[in-house]
């Protein structure tokens, strides 16, 4: 059963968000009870508005946070599925949402204007967190192992046939078999220095043919043999749905995009228990689990709130 929070605060918030082009959805996916997440007296009745971006993974992450906070006793308002990263970010800066999951690489490059990523996950997180606190009063909870970055993918059958697990394995194979160097990539990725030209220079693999497609088409193009290798996102549900293998970026060329809850530093100082409620949820996730959760939505057609609830129950966070 969906639960509607009809409060004066929600009405006021709806008015301000609608003026900014954001649509308020105050319904939480499911009523849950505490599991390992126990009621937290300092959060009892506290209004927390949770946002998310408008793609499957981030929507699922938003629901995970909502369910955790609800189990802890907070009064949660759902504002998942905000269109565009910049809109979501501005909603946080303007305090129209209390928190949402952001990615270290997105903040470092898109919001903070850096053009050189830091290859180490912890180093990238530390740099982003320090800059965001200093410049914007925004802090980051501990980052999750979920790292939604770029990689090359191929079919599981092709990878097994040629013993391919990493981009270096791919490079060695293609140097011996250059006729197999058929790639599918996005148009922009084909020419960007942090895309195909840069990664090719870093690893030194040959390319016989480079075909350009839209993002969604690349996954099916790999699966049906149109290309042997393609540019993919490392947590996309179609990886599992189409039985693809992610090749490890062993030289760490691509930026790190670890997910972490972001919120105003002042809000965390007011409610420090948010950390102990939300950080264990992020810790319990990894790329393989996120691929499966996204597959359940994008391939199997399940509701993201239902998928989030079932995972939280399975992990014992809620009941």
172 and 143 in one domain? no
Q: Residue 115 is part of which domain span? A: 3-147+258-314
Residue pair 14/20 in contact (Cβ under 8 Å)? The answer is no
Tell me how many helices (H) and strands (E) the chain has.
15, 12
99 and 43 in one domain? yes
What is the Cα–Cα distance from 128 to 133, expressed in whole angstroms?
Answer: 9
SS3 51: strand
Residues β-bridged to residue 76: 48
Residue pair 213/186 in contact (Cβ under 8 Å)? The answer is yes
Please report whether residue 319 resides in a domain: no
Residue pair 128/110 in contact (Cβ under 8 Å)? The answer is no
Please report whether residue 55 resides in a domain: yes
- What does each of the 319 residues of the chain score in pLDDT, given as a tens digit? 222 222 223 333 333 343 343 455 565 667 899 999 999 999 999 999 999 999 999 999 999 999 999 999 999 999 999 998 899 999 999 999 999 999 999 999 989 999 888 999 999 999 999 999 999 999 999 999 999 999 999 999 999 999 999 999 999 999 999 999 999 999 888 987 788 999 999 999 999 999 999 878 999 999 999 999 999 999 999 999 999 999 999 999 999 999 999 999 999 999 999 999 999 999 999 999 999 999 999 999 999 999 999 999 999 999 9
262 and 222 in one domain? no
The pairing of beta strand 229-233 with beta strand 182-185:
parallel
Model pLDDT, residue 214: 82
- What is the phi/psi pair of residue 70, to 5°? -65, -40
What is the Cα–Cα distance from 233 to 151, expressed in whole angstroms?
Answer: 6
Model pLDDT, residue 30: 72
Which domain CATH number covers 194?
3.40.190.120
210 and 128 in one domain? no
130 and 48 in one domain? yes
Structure tokens at 112: 């903070």
Give pTM, 2 decimals.
0.87
Model pLDDT, residue 27: 57
What length is written for the chain? 319
Model pLDDT, residue 71: 97
Q: Is 136 exposed, middle or buried (0-12, 13-18, 19+ CB in 10 A)?
A: middle
């Amino acid at each position: 059963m969906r639960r509607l929070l009809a409060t004066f605060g929600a009405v006021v918030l709806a008015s301000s968000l609608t003026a900014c082009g954001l649509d308020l959805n105050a319904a939480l996916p499911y009523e849950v009870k505490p599991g390992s997440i126990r009621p937290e007296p300092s959060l009892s009745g506290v209004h927390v508005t949770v946002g998310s971006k408008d793609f499957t993974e981030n929507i699922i992450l938003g629901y995970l946070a909502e369910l955790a906070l609800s189990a802890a006793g907070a009064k949660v308002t759902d504002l998942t599925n905000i269109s565009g990263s910049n809109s979501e970010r501005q909603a946080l800066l303007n305090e129209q949402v209390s928190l949402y999951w952001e990615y270290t690489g997105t903040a470092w490059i898109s919001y903070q204007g850096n053009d050189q990523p830091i290859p180490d996950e912890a180093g990238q997180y530390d740099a982003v967190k320090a800059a965001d606190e200093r410049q914007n009063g925004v802090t980051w909870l501990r980052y999750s192992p979920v790292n939604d970055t770029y990689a090359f993918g191929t079919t599981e059958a092709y990878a097994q046939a040629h013993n391919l697990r990493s981009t270096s394995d791919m490079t060695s194979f293609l140097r011996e078999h250059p006729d197999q160097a058929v790639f599918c990539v996005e148009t922009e990725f084909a020419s960007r220095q942090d895309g195909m030209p840069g990664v090719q220079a870093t690893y030194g693999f040959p390319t016989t043919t480079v075909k350009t497609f839209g993002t969604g088409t690349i996954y099916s193009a790999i699966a049906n043999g149109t290309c042997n290798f393609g540019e993919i996102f490392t947590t996309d549900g179609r990886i599992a749905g189409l039985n693809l293998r992610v090749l490890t970026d062993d030289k760490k060329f691509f930026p790190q995009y670890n997910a972490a809850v972001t919120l105003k530093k002042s809000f965390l100082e007011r409610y420090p228990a948010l950390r102990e409620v939300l950080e264990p949820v992020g810790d319990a996730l990894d790329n393989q689990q996120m691929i499966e959760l996204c597959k359940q939505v994008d391939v199997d057609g399940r509701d993201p709130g239902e998928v989030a609830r079932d995972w939280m129950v399975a992990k014992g966070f809620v009941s």
